[in-house]
Amino acid sequence: MKADSAKPSKKRRININYGLQVFGDNNTFSNTSVNNNVTLLTFYTKLIFTKLKSFSFLRLTDEKCGNGVSYRPNLDRSTYEQHLKSHVEETFSLPDSSIPYIDKVFNSDNKSDNNKAIRDIPPTGSDDEHMFNFLEALFRATYSFHYTNLDIKDGESTFDSLFVYPFLEAVSESLAESVNWSKAGFKPGEAPLISMKNQLKNSELYKEETVTYLADGIIKLFGLKNLDILLLETSNHFGCTDKPKINFDHHKDLFGALAMLKNIADEFPFASLATFRQCKVFFLHAAGERLYLWSLSFEPEGPIYELWLERMMLIKPDVDDKPESLPSFLKFFWGMKCNLITTTSTIAQLKKEHNDILIKNRFNPNAPSDSLSTIVNPSILKLTEEDKTGMHLLGPFFSTTSS
């Protein structure tokens, strides 16, 4: 993302013009002007660069891009394929010791057998205890929505309580167990995003209470400067088809993630750029019948902020779909947990590098001139509901409805 923001008027109408680099599987992109004075160049693709003036920018076309999608007719084939090859897809395998337990749960045929299989955790050593705690929590959460008596479309709170909160709690607890010094925790429901508060505190907008960014949930590292590493936004009830709302929430999440990434850079300004470019923050978007996990990272060559669709999952709540939904939920949240462990380790390295520089220069009155705080400096906005009009034209757009 490249941003150039003008000061809001007294009516707080935001007038911005930015280019957004967005990458992920099975995505397309568009260039759209919106009625509410927000002009967004939004691209949902797995991507191409062309040089425009002094910075790297995506070519404007209507081509669909991604795995299994042709570069034709408007994209340069060699550039397209080069970027696809340069992006390393992360895979996270389950330990072999977990397979018998998982198979037993997957193969249980009825409610009673399923419940017994979930409880029947094999004897474990200390190395495997965290893993089985996590697997049990995931399976209990899937059991809960498969056999619920609730109307699954009865509001946003039901969407969260059945399909999101129990899984994020399991992820944060597993992260806290795996990296105990992180003291990771999940804050559900109308949680203020402190990263956004920190970025807007010097702005005139901060004087208004309405600028507080309230996420539907946040995973934080309470043992590491209370940093935010994942935020959640849920777009109304399960199965909601309100595109303006869904796409508004997506862009709201995007600015929230930018604030989170910038906040990390500000906390450890003397860490290396080489390490920071490996740091990802995440947002989970629960919308329609799907969960989307997006990551955001800083790419100094440009510079740009790379938004990548890490994974997407279609929620199948019917118990008859259990053979398909159980593996999907397991893969999705196991991958999320591994992503967050990697991010936590990267932030720990940033802290170490920052402190090493402070120690090295403790008798030097002049701090290093170059810092992450100045290099990583995106324009950050807090979108409000009045900016929602026309958001359905902005995407993201997907070339397939498959999970």
CA 137 to chain centre: 21
Least confident among 52-61, 202-211, 296-305, 309-318: 52-61
Tokens matching residue 79 = 């550039």
Helix (H) or strand (E) holding 86: helix 77-86
For 57-66, the CB contacts below 8 A with 24+ separation are: 57/2, 57/19, 58/19, 58/21, 58/29, 60/31, 61/29, 62/28, 62/30, 63/28, 64/27, 64/28, 64/399, 65/27, 65/28, 65/29, 66/24, 66/25, 66/26, 66/27, 66/399
Q: What is the pLDDT of residues 336-347, one digit of tens each?
A: 999 999 999 999
Mean pLDDT within 83-97: 77
Question: Does residue 7 have a pLDDT over 60?
Answer: no
Which of the four pLDDT bands, split at 50, 70 and 90, describes residue 251? confident
3-class SS at 52? strand
State the chain's mean pLDDT as an integer: 77
**Judging by beta carbons within 10 Å of its beta carbon (0-12, 13-18, 19+), is residue 390 exposed, middle or buried?**
middle
Please give the pLDDT value at position 382.
Answer: 66
Print burial letters for 122-133: b (CB count within 10 Å at least 16), e (below 16): eeeeeebebbbb
User: How far is it, in rounded angstroms, from Cα 106 to Cα 142?
Assistant: 11
Is pTM beyond 0.85? Reply is no
Question: Does residue 11 have a pLDDT over 50?
Answer: no
Least confident among 116-120, 201-205, 228-232, 263-267: 201-205
Mean pLDDT within 376-390: 68
335 with 92: CB under 8 angstroms? yes
3-class SS at 377? coil
Mean pLDDT within 79-86: 64
Least confident among 93-102, 154-163, 218-227, 357-366: 357-366
Mean pLDDT within 60-74: 35
337 with 284: CB under 8 angstroms? no
**Among residues 2, 81, 78, 3, which one has the least CA distance to residue 46?**
81
Please give the pLDDT value at position 8.
Answer: 39
User: How far is it, in rounded angstroms, from Cα 340 to Cα 229?
Assistant: 8
Which of the four pLDDT bands, split at 50, 70 and 90, describes residue 397? very low
Question: Does residue 207 have a pLDDT over 70?
Answer: no
CA distances, 209 to each of 117, 205, 382, 385 (Å): 49, 9, 12, 14
